Structure 1
Amino acid sequence: MPARREVRLNAFQMASPGHTWAGLWRHPRDTTAAYNTLDYWTALARTAERGLFDGVFLADVIGQYDVYGGNADAALARAAQAPSLDPFLVVPTMAAATRHLGFGVTANLTYEHPYTFARRITTLDHLTGGRVGWNIVTGYLESGARGMGLSEARAHDVRYEAGEDFLEAAYKLWEGSWEDGAVQRDRAGGVFTDPGKVHSIHHDGPYYRVDGRHLGEPSPQRTPVLYQAGTSSRGKLFAARHAEAIFLNGHTPALAGKAVRSIREAARAAGRDPYDIRMFLGATVIVAPTRAEALDLRDEYARYVDAEGQFALVSGWTGIDLAGLKPDEPLAYQETNAMRSLVENLTQPGERPFTLADFAEFGPRGARAPFIVGSPSEVADALLAWAEQADVDGFNLTRAVAPETIEAFVDLVVPELQSRGVYKTRYAEGVLREKLFPGTGPLLKDSHPGAAFRVGRPPHALRAAS
């Protein structure tokens, strides 16, 4: 493990009135009911940039949570990630209000095609000046599959096989279609693009086919920064090969650290430097000038957490209908087609079993991740302890009551971290990849599998290395 690293932060958001804590939209000071307005997103972006956050991480899901009770009534009534907006469309709004802030935007490759998706990412990378990352997800909700006209969602491991195929096609488009210097913008000669430097790519995979030139000229990063959140056995292998940043959870440092170690080991086995992957741990932070005030805030927020909404979320995430669970009955392991790593974490041998009461708790058990309450110095102590024990680079800070929880963090915790020399005092110049990995360039590192598809490099069969 390297020496203590600079702590990195993302604001963990969703374009929905409810995210990971159902019911908090009802709090009288919460503004997330205005999630469908420009002002909500520009205000968030300016606050995150004032706090020198690396980015706003935008979660998303295709479908609605209809596992709990066999229908989506609870999710809809309690705003459990419903309704929602397309996260891609709020990024330009935030980018126009900021200069350095990055954006990790979630897109489900199961319901995309590489040819058109590559252009959407390239467009965002141009419009933001190279500040875009893609959170790669493969989808797990049966309701989303039905909405897309399919009879069922892809099986868990098949989703990752399809992901490998999708990424190979996307890398070919981003890295191998347009040469450097293809775009000339030659007014006098009347030539905008040299056709000889734009190449058709040919991809005939088991899930996706592409035969054509990339629709967009190369953007500042070409390939966006690649985020991933899969920590199941198959998900770890996928993340270790492709991800530059990983979002994970874990309600104890031991659980989170175990996941981090396994990913880093898999990255090393794949020929990558294990520390070429930034690890972000989800965390809920309630901070105030004194511990007593922070505890009062926690208790105040807890009164608005909606238990039924929480059950709808956890049922959807795990694929297990909590409506069939008795109040004190422990959650038992079941193999589902949803988030297997979450089911494993919630049913780990040796841990106190999770019950319905835990899922409704506004606290560490309900968070399934660090839940930190205290004064600025206490919060900083806790964050640094988690970072060291779990070997993570930073945190995805979960939305509680907006905007006051992120404003309090920026005003109180950021100065405390800066005073300890573990948090930046200004942004580095460059694109998002250069900010996350100082001293590197704007493009994928040569050791990344996507770099093998650059124009002029030998052909590379990505699947052959898997």
Structure 2
Amino acid sequence: MTNTFQNTDKSIHKKQILLNAFDMNCVGHINHGLWTHPRDESHRFNELSYWTTLAQTLEHGLFDGLFIADITGVYDVYQNGIDLTLKESIQLPSHDPTTLVSAMAAVTKNLGFGITVNLSYETPYQFARRFGSLDHLTQGRIGWNIVTGYLDSAERLIGQKGLKDHDLRYEQADEFLTLCYKFWEGSWENDAIQKNKQKRIFTDPKKVHQINHQGHFYQSQGVFQVSPSPQRTPLLFQAGASARGLAFSTQHAECVFIGGDQADKIKQQVDKIRELTKQQGRNPEDIKIFVGITVVTAETDQLAQQKLEEYASYANPEAGLAHFSSSIGIDLSQYADDEVIPYQSTNSIVSVNNKFKDKQITPNDLKAQHLLGGRYPLFVGSGSTVAEKLIQLLDDTGIDGFNLTRTVAPESHHDFIRLVIPELQQRGRFKTEYTQGSLRNKIFNQGDYLNSQHPASQFRCHNNKDKHNIVKETADEQSA
């Protein structure tokens, strides 16, 4: 592929890389089997000190955020059970990620926290209240990774028979977001809080407004209990890659998480996201695009290769296959290692499953991709080598940054900070200090609030006119 963003061209602005650590409140997250490595400490995931130390480490490395994945349910598709899932701790056990945020925020000042919450199993009010509270306690450093779920096991856990239709889940998500925007943006005016002890007025009643929502999935009437937080609406992450998922993410998201291991295919995704964002009436640069990666680095390329071989001896590619089976909703254990896996329509992750339409893929192919138990692109080499490869991928594709998975915890983060970050900084491609303000301002450098092009802005309440708009919009819903 022709590189249209050659970083040797001095006339082209050198985009600085955005960087999140990608983790989960569990033992085996992406790179499965590495929990058995003698230096891995992920078994301590249920200890608060494990997370507070990680947060301090990442802030020392100037990471933009810690992006914490989550699932509701278990991976029970492979071999029609959870034996391998339990033996290899494939995201089981896993704990609620929101419980970690306050403690990590207390020991850091700049690190952001992108927390995955599945809206299909939440009520909008309770969720909006919890994240509004977290935005206060983190001083504006909270983000929400919006997911709708893809596991039948989750539906059974909450007493349902199976997943709702894929597109119906997104229809529900649209309304969930609309109601959250009303709570976060429309119930309180910016100057509602007075804290006037002499006049005995903590909050001016004229500046707090009732929300009335009568929708297809949700109904709500009343005043939001949380006063305006630093960002009001948390920074919004999303990873939908199907046609319906892309329509949703380009309407709502500020940061989009995509997969891919080939620069030309990644660039196609990036170009499509930018164009769809424009069609939504938003600036294409209002979305920052992240790719998931795994890095193994050492002082030299040779030592990094040796470290990879060492790690691979502990990894379990079959565990990666079990994870993948649940992602696509197909039991891959039924196919021989060299048998082509046929495409089957499922309600799971459509964009991942669609790969079987276009390519002839066998279990052996997938196991080769899961060398370290995970399927994200793998970068191996010295700090200099890895830095150059990351810069090249960013410049070739137009992405904005990376979600870095862990391998051996916490060793892999320390290696990246010690060896790769300085090389990126020397090339002018990574910050040397944090921008002040909220997580949103750190990422976009345009203030703490969502901009006026975002759909949430229509629900913003600063004066009586905005209040009228909320009431009018509700009336329109009721008459629809």
Do both share a fold (TM > 0.5)?
yes
Structure 1 pair 417–292 and aligned structure 2 pair: CA distance change class (3 A): same
Q: How far 1:367 moved relative to its partner?
A: 4.4
Matched, 1:347 2:353: no
Matched, 1:442 2:452: no
Whether the 8 Å contact between 1:318 and 1:343 is mirrored in structure 2 is yes
Q: Following the alignment from structure 1 to structure 2, what is the Cα–Cα distance between the partners of residues 305 and 364?
A: 7
Corresponding residue number in structure 1 for 2:9: none
Matched, 1:371 2:378: yes
Whether the 8 Å contact between 1:364 and 1:371 is mirrored in structure 2 is no
- What do the CA deviations read for 1:122-178 (whole angstroms, capped 9, x no partner)? 111011010000000001101101111111111111111001000000000000001
Describe how 1:6-405 pairs up with structure 2 within 5 A: 6-344=16-354, 346-347=355-356, 349=358, 353-361=360-368, 367-405=374-412
Q: Following the alignment from structure 2 to structure 1, what is the Cα–Cα distance between the partners of residues 142 and 426?
A: 29
Structure 1 pair 327–317 and aligned structure 2 pair: CA distance change class (3 A): same
Code of the aligned partner of 2:407: A
- What do the CA deviations read for 1:343-365 (whole angstroms, capped 9, x no partner)? 22x4363x5x3322333336679
Secondary structure of 1:383's aligned partner: helix
Q: Which moved more, 1:409-418 or 1:142-151?
A: 142-151
Q: Following the alignment from structure 2 to structure 1, what is the Cα–Cα distance between the partners of residues 196 and 161?
A: 51
Whether the 8 Å contact between 2:236 and 2:254 is mirrored in structure 1 is yes
Corresponding residue number in structure 1 for 2:8: none
Q: Following the alignment from structure 1 to structure 2, what is the Cα–Cα distance between the partners of residues 365 and 29?
A: 16
Q: Following the alignment from structure 2 to structure 1, what is the Cα–Cα distance between the partners of residues 45 and 321?
A: 23
Q: Following the alignment from structure 1 to structure 2, what is the Cα–Cα distance between the partners of residues 230 and 365?
A: 25
Whether the 8 Å contact between 1:9 and 1:394 is mirrored in structure 2 is yes
In the alignment of these two chains, the number of paired residues is 460
Q: Following the alignment from structure 2 to structure 1, what is the Cα–Cα distance between the partners of residues 58 and 313?
A: 27
Q: How far 1:92 moved relative to its partner?
A: 1.0
Q: Following the alignment from structure 2 to structure 1, what is the Cα–Cα distance between the partners of residues 40 and 213?
A: 48
Whether the 8 Å contact between 2:51 and 2:100 is mirrored in structure 1 is yes
Secondary structure of 1:139's aligned partner: coil
Computed over aligned residues only, the root mean square deviation of the Cα atoms, in angstroms, reads 1.8
Q: Following the alignment from structure 2 to structure 1, what is the Cα–Cα distance between the partners of residues 383 and 85?
A: 34
Whether the 8 Å contact between 2:32 and 2:373 is mirrored in structure 1 is no
Q: How far 1:395 moved relative to its partner?
A: 0.2
Q: How far 1:3 moved relative to its partner?
A: 3.8
Whether the 8 Å contact between 1:358 and 1:366 is mirrored in structure 2 is no
Q: Which moved more, 1:83-92 or 1:203-212?
A: 203-212
- What do the CA deviations read for 1:365-418 (whole angstroms, capped 9, x no partner)? 964432100011110111011112221000000111101111100011000000
Q: Following the alignment from structure 2 to structure 1, what is the Cα–Cα distance between the partners of residues 364 and 39?
A: 26
Corresponding residue number in structure 2 for 1:411: 418
Q: Following the alignment from structure 2 to structure 1, what is the Cα–Cα distance between the partners of residues 200 and 325?
A: 59
Name the % identity: 46
Structure 1 pair 363–386 and aligned structure 2 pair: CA distance change class (3 A): farther
Q: How far 1:444 moved relative to its partner?
A: 0.4
Q: Following the alignment from structure 2 to structure 1, what is the Cα–Cα distance between the partners of residues 92 and 372?
A: 23
Secondary structure of 2:368's aligned partner: coil
Structure 1 pair 367–253 and aligned structure 2 pair: CA distance change class (3 A): farther
Structure 1 pair 312–400 and aligned structure 2 pair: CA distance change class (3 A): same
Q: Following the alignment from structure 1 to structure 2, what is the Cα–Cα distance between the partners of residues 418 and 348?
A: 41
Corresponding residue number in structure 2 for 1:454: 460
Secondary structure of 1:80's aligned partner: coil
Secondary structure of 1:451's aligned partner: helix
Secondary structure of 1:192's aligned partner: strand
Q: Following the alignment from structure 1 to structure 2, what is the Cα–Cα distance between the partners of residues 59 and 153?
A: 20
Code of the aligned partner of 2:416: F
Code of the aligned partner of 1:380: A
Q: Following the alignment from structure 1 to structure 2, what is the Cα–Cα distance between the partners of residues 365 and 155?
A: 33
Q: Following the alignment from structure 1 to structure 2, what is the Cα–Cα distance between the partners of residues 198 and 312?
A: 50
Q: Following the alignment from structure 1 to structure 2, what is the Cα–Cα distance between the partners of residues 28 and 103?
A: 29
Q: Following the alignment from structure 1 to structure 2, what is the Cα–Cα distance between the partners of residues 206 and 81?
A: 34
Q: How far 1:445 moved relative to its partner?
A: 0.5
Q: Following the alignment from structure 2 to structure 1, what is the Cα–Cα distance between the partners of residues 370 and 421?
A: 22
- What do the CA deviations read for 1:225-250 (whole angstroms, capped 9, x no partner)? 00001111110010000000011111
Q: How far 1:312 moved relative to its partner?
A: 1.6
Secondary structure of 1:257's aligned partner: helix
- What do the CA deviations read for 1:47-78 (whole angstroms, capped 9, x no partner)? 11111010000000000001111112221221
Q: How far 1:306 moved relative to its partner?
A: 1.8
Q: Following the alignment from structure 1 to structure 2, what is the Cα–Cα distance between the partners of residues 6 and 333?
A: 39
TM-score, normalization: structure 2?
Answer: 0.93
- What do the CA deviations read for 1:296-336 (whole angstroms, capped 9, x no partner)? 11111111112332122001111111111110112332221
Q: Following the alignment from structure 1 to structure 2, what is the Cα–Cα distance between the partners of residues 251 and 95?
A: 33
Code of the aligned partner of 1:138: T
Whether the 8 Å contact between 2:318 and 2:373 is mirrored in structure 1 is no
Structure 1 pair 264–52 and aligned structure 2 pair: CA distance change class (3 A): same
